[in-house]
Amino acid sequence: MTSMPDGDSQSSVTDRKTVHVRIKGRVQGVWFRAWTEKTASKLGLDGWVRNRRDGDVEAVFSGPADAVDRMLEAAKDGPPLARVSALDVRETEGAAPAGFETRPDA
């Protein structure tokens, strides 16, 4: 009988990440939040998205690292009417609450 090395039992934890993102450009009034919620949910991510009064969209994506990376790559384009000029991505500690939601404006 063989057993897994202790490092492998941690892989699900170390392969997860959480990022806080500010998305800049023409990202409000173009269904960006709805697109983000749908896309993040399809990828199995936890987190949230909301409009900011300064015109940016803010989001937290949490889940498997490869899924978070795919979400960030998709967010560079966003929905068809969006024009993303920049993503400000910061990795954070911990995980977001389960599920993905659209939050009120900040």
Instruction: Quote the CA–CA distance of 49 and 31 in Å, as a whole number.
Output: 12
Catalytic residue among 16, 22, 33, 50: 33
Each residue's pLDDT tens digit, 5-61: 444 444 455 699 999 999 999 999 999 999 999 999 999 999 999 999 999 999 999
Catalytic residue among 51, 52, 70, 103: 51
Is 52 one of the annotated active-site residues of the chain?
no
Instruction: Quote the CA–CA distance of 29 and 52 in Å, as a whole number.
Output: 12
Nearest to 56 by CA among 27, 29, 82: 27
Domain segments of the chain as ranges:
15-95
Beta bridge partners of 100: 47
Q: Name the pTM for this structure.
A: 0.86
Topology, domain 15-95: Alpha-Beta Plaits (3.30.70)
Is 51 one of the annotated active-site residues of the chain?
yes
Contact assessment for residue 35 and residue 74, using Cβ atoms and an 8 Å cutoff:
no
